[in-house]
């Protein structure tokens, strides 16, 4: 029996450890097979990257499809973006196959510096040209080259909203133009920041408007998660009572990372018959361990923002931040102060605003912080 913790909290470890997402997987595979460009929206830590990894794993056996994944969260400008894409391409093709050799030759003909990442040992491609036309040209050549090969390419660009922070202003137009010319390449644009992603894809004045099909990733349904948790413990000859699983789902509000993390911690305790008291103890322990981080958050926010955060946590889901009742009970000052406070918390990603439901609401992002604030 596998000794590693079956509740994965980092990366993707295979379909045995992956809960549900069957419908989304089918849809995504279908889009890829039909070369439909997709935007994948969801809150942070809900499972976007996991879903892409899962789908790419399934497509691995298809020799006609090459999947390339790049995460651009760490990039700050067009040069870094292109370097990241080139690195993704460079690493996606096995260098011992003829196509891999061709790709490497093509990249090398563009004269990059190829170095090795100190930690992972993976090759990193860096182009040094400072001129924007030159950079765009490099990107165009790479895409065009890929598109001429006898394979379909799927390009997943994770944390795509990051392009809005680049100093170059025409990057969307540039990308869109190049994307349009490709015949055998499908793009998956993935992003957590709802507002920024909407700005790129749903604004009629922008280059990407109406260029992709939107896929919203929702919370995993409770019945699916309950089954997954029970089944996973059972594989290790452990049982968990229904009320204990219910408690976990409720405590973490089914926000994937927090649910996974909870079960991961619980698993390490090596209890054979898990009951409600065990999960309550685990909950308290998790909050205790995270407490120093919560105090750090407090130091990073203004007194007003912290008070606002606490008020939102207590409401769990806040529908009307400008309601008189809410403002006076929580002593938040004027409606304009509330508006500014919420704006700041949204920007800092301490709070999210869910607009994909009939009645939009605000909620504290970090479920453990939310539970901890509720006890204060
Ligand atoms: N369907 C799933 N089943 C089990 N664990 C998942 C699932 N989706 C995501 N995870 C785990 O949850 C955490 C957050 O998921 P991630 O894909 O990184 O979220 P996002 O990219 O939306 O921020 C990761 O640790 C990942 O391993
Ligand atoms: Mg991610």
Tell me how far apart the alpha carbons of residues 174 and 153 are, in angstroms, rounded to a whole number: 19
Among 96-110, 238-252, 348-362, the minimum mean pLDDT is found in: 96-110
Q: How much is the pLDDT for 229?
A: 98
Strand partners, 213: 38
Tell me how far apart the alpha carbons of residues 274 and 266 are, in angstroms, rounded to a whole number: 9
Name which of 287, 346, 290, 284 is nearest 318 in CA terms: 346
81 pLDDT more than 80: yes
250 to 143, 258, 283: CA distances (angstroms): 46, 11, 11
Q: How much is the pLDDT for 3?
A: 65
The secondary structure of the chain in percent helix, strand, coil, rounded to multiples of 5, reads 55, 15, 35
Encode 71-81: b = buried (16+ Cβ within 10 Å), e = exposed.
bbeebebbbeb
pLDDT range class, residue 307, cuts 50, 70, 90: very high
The binding-site residues of ligand 1, defined as CB within 6 angstroms of any ligand atom, are 8-11, 18-21, 42, 44-50, 192, 256-257, 260
What single DSSP character describes residue 318? B
| Percent with pLDDT over 90 in the chain | 70
340 pLDDT more than 90: yes
- Count, in order, helices (H) and strands (E) of the chain: 15, 11
Please tell me the CATH code under which domain 301-376 is placed.
Answer: 1.10.10.10
Q: How much is the pLDDT for 138?
A: 82
Q: What is the mean pLDDT of residues 178-206?
A: 90
268 pLDDT more than 50: yes
Q: How much is the pLDDT for 101?
A: 85
Going across the sheet that includes 213-216, the strands are 65-71, 152-158, 185-191, 38-41, 213-216
Q: How much is the pLDDT for 10?
A: 94
What's CA 232's distance to the chain center, in Å? 24
Tell me how far apart the alpha carbons of residues 117 and 215 are, in angstroms, rounded to a whole number: 33
Nearest atom of ligand 1 to the alpha carbon of 46: 22
Output the CA 287–ligand 2 centroid distance in Å: 24
CATH T-level fold of 21-216 = Rossmann fold (3.40.50)
67 pLDDT more than 60: yes
Q: What is the mean pLDDT of residues 332-348?
A: 93
Backbone φ and ψ for 229, nearest 5 degrees, come out as -65, -50
Output the CA 267–ligand 1 centroid distance in Å: 18
Pocket of ligand 1, candidates 256, 259, 366: which has the most ligand atoms within 8 Å of its Cβ, to mutate? Answer: 256
pLDDT range class, residue 360, cuts 50, 70, 90: very high
Residues in contact with 298: Cβ distance below 8 Å, sequence separation at least 6, in sequence order: 306
Helix (H) or strand (E) run with residue 346 in it? helix 335-347
Output the CA 7–ligand 1 centroid distance in Å: 10
Tell me how far apart the alpha carbons of residues 297 and 334 are, in angstroms, rounded to a whole number: 24
Tell me how far apart the alpha carbons of residues 33 and 182 are, in angstroms, rounded to a whole number: 15
The pTM assigned to this predicted structure is 0.93
Pocket of ligand 1, candidates 24, 45, 158: which has the most ligand atoms within 8 Å of its Cβ, to mutate? Answer: 45
Helix (H, G, I), strand (E, B) or coil at 117: coil
Nearest atom of ligand 1 to the alpha carbon of 19: 3
Q: How much is the pLDDT for 356?
A: 81
Kindly identify the ligand whose nearest atom is closest to the C-alpha of 254. Answer: 1
* pLDDT per residue as tens digits for the range 137-152: 888 888 888 888 889 9
Kindly identify the ligand whose nearest atom is closest to the C-alpha of 257. Answer: 1
Q: How much is the pLDDT for 1?
A: 45
Nearest atom of ligand 1 to the alpha carbon of 9: 25
Output the CA 334–ligand 1 centroid distance in Å: 39
Tell me how far apart the alpha carbons of residues 19 and 38 are, in angstroms, rounded to a whole number: 22
Strand partners, 363: 352
* pLDDT per residue as tens digits for the range 82-135: 899 989 998 888 777 788 888 888 887 777 888 888 888 888 888 776 666 777
- Pairing of β 273-274 and β 239-240: parallel
Q: How much is the pLDDT for 40?
A: 95
Average pLDDT along the chain? 92
Q: How much is the pLDDT for 53?
A: 96
What's CA 297's distance to the chain center, in Å? 21
Q: What is the mean pLDDT of residues 173-194?
A: 90
Residue nearest to atom 15 of ligand 1 (CA): 47
pLDDT range class, residue 169, cuts 50, 70, 90: confident
Ordered by start, the domain boundaries in the chain are 21-216, 301-376
Nearest atom of ligand 1 to the alpha carbon of 44: 23
Q: How much is the pLDDT for 309?
A: 97
């Amino acid at each position: 029996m596998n000794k590693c913790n079956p509740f994965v909290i980092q990366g993707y470890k295979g379909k045995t450890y992956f809960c549900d997402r069957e419908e989304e997987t089918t849809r995504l595979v279908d889009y890829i097979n039909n070369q439909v460009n997709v935007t994948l929206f969801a809150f942070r830590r809900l499972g976007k990257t996991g879903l892409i990894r899962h789908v790419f794993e399934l497509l691995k056996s298809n020799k006609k499809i090459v999947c390339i994944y790049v995460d651009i969260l760490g990039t700050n400008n067009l040069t870094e973006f292109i370097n990241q894409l080139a690195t993704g391409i460079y690493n996606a093709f096995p260098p011992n196959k003829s196509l891999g050799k061709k790709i490497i030759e093509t990249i090398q003909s563009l004269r990059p510096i190829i170095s090795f990442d100190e930690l992972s040992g993976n090759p990193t491609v860096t182009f040094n040209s400072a001129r924007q036309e030159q950079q765009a040209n490099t990107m165009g050549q790479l895409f065009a080259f890929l598109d001429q090969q006898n394979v379909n390419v799927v390009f997943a660009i994770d944390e795509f909203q990051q392009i809005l922070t680049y100093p170059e202003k025409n990057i969307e137009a540039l990308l869109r133009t190049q994307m349009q010319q490709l015949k055998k390449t499908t793009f998956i644009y993935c992003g957590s920041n709802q507002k920024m992603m909407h700005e790129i894809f749903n604004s009629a004045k922008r280059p990407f408007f109406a260029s992709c099909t939107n896929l919203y990733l929702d919370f995993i349904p409770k019945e699916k998660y309950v089954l997954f948790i029970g089944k996973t413990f059972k594989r290790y000859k452990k049982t968990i009572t229904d009320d204990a699983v219910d408690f976990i789902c409720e405590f973490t509000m089914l926000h994937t990372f927090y649910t996974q993390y909870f079960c991961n911690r619980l698993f390490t305790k090596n209890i054979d018959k898990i009951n409600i008291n065990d999960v309550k103890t685990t909950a308290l322990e998790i909050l205790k361990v995270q407490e120093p981080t919560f105090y750090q958050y407090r130091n990073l926010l203004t007194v007003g923002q912290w008070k606002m955060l606490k008020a939102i946590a207590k409401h769990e889901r806040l529908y009307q931040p400008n309601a008189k009742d809410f403002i006076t009970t929580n002593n938040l000052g004027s409606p304009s102060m509330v508006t500014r406070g919420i704006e700041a918390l949204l920007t800092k990603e301490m709070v999210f605003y869910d607009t994909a439901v009939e009645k939009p609401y605000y909620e504290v992002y970090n479920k453990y912080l939310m539970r901890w604030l509720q006890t204060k």
